[in-house]
């Protein structure tokens, strides 16, 4: 019974920087099994509870090429999308967006990314999908896809901004300990 999916959903712990597991290159998902479906359900519960608009499996210590995003605002119905083994096949333009990350609580920085992307992936039903995205959805997909390669938000920052962000995290950690 060890490999059976758990009954109900569970909120998982989100790894926080500098946890080394955030730097791991995630492995492809071989197939969409009941365990993968259960993991996706846990990831949904975890992301919405955080709250966030995206979550990659490596952020909860699972080194698989899987992430979810939901860029709907609070007054809109869910726009949840599941990306298994995603591959960004096209990037166009550039834009700067203020990003946050559940693995960097309280840190928000302007990051430059592609304005428009096309991504191919498998969905939670094992079906191939191709999506062209721009705006917040494009940013969220690129951000979460980076997690699958062990690339973090701070890797896109200048040395000075990275230093300031890390100092802020250290200060918060010290405050939390006292």
Q: Which residues contact 144 (CB under 8 A, 6 or more apart)?
A: 54, 55, 56, 67, 68, 69, 83
Mean local confidence (pLDDT), 163-172: 88
Q: What is the pLDDT of residue 3?
A: 39
Q: Does domain 20-177 have CATH number 3.90.45.10?
A: yes
Provide the pLDDT for residue 80.
97
Q: In the predicted model, is pLDDT for residue 145 greater than 60? A: yes
Q: What pLDDT, on a 0 to 100 scale, did the predictor assign at position 4?
A: 39
Of the residues 99, 109, 124, 144, which is catalytic? 144
For 102-143, how does the pLDDT look when each residue is reduced to its tens digit (9 = 90+)?
Answer: 999 989 999 999 999 999 999 999 999 999 999 999 999 999
d(CA 141, CA 79): 13
Question: Is residue 103 within 8 Å of 82, Cβ to Cβ?
Answer: no
The domain segmentation of the chain, as residue ranges, is 20-177
**pTM listed for this prediction:** 0.91
Q: Are 80 and 67 in contact (CB under 8 A)?
A: no
To the query of whether residue 144 is one of the catalytic residues in this protein, the response is: yes
| pLDDT at residue 10 greater than cutoff 70 | yes
The tokens of 161 are what? 């901004």
pLDDT given for residue 6 in this prediction = 45
Instruction: Using the predicted structure, report yes or no on whether residue 67 has a pLDDT greater than 60.
Output: yes
Using pLDDT thresholds of 50, 70 and 90, give the confidence band for residue 171.
confident
Q: Average of pLDDT values for 52-69?
A: 98
Report how far apart, in Å, the C-alpha atoms of 73 and of each of 28, 137, 161 are: 30, 12, 28
Does the pLDDT of residue 36 top 60, yes or no?
yes
Q: What is the pLDDT of residue 175?
A: 80
Q: What is the pLDDT of residue 170?
A: 85
pLDDT of residue 136: 95
Asked if the model's pLDDT at residue 77 lies above 50, the reply is yes
Mean pLDDT, rounded, of the chain:
92
């Amino acid at each position: 019974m060890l490999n059976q999916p758990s009954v109900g959903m569970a909120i998982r712990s989100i790894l926080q920087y500098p946890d080394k597991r955030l730097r791991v290159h995630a492995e492809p998902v071989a197939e969409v099994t009941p365990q993968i479906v259960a993991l996706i359900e846990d990831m949904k519960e975890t992301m919405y509870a955080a709250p966030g608009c995206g979550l990659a499996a490596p952020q909860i210590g699972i080194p698989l090429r899987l992430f979810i995003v939901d860029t709907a605002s609070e007054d809109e119905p869910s726009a949840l999308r599941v990306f298994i083994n995603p591959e960004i096949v096209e990037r166009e333009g550039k834009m700067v967006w203020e990003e946050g990350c559940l693995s960097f609580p309280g840190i928000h920085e302007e990051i430059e990314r592609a304005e428009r992307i096309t991504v191919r992936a498998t969905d939670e039903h094992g079906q191939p999908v191709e999506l062209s995205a721009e705006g917040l959805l494009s940013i969220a997909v690129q951000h979460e896809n980076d997690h699958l390669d062990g690339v973090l938000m701070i890797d896109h920052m200048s040395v000075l901004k990275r230093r300031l962000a890390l100092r802020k995290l250290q200060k918060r950690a010290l405050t939390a300990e006292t």
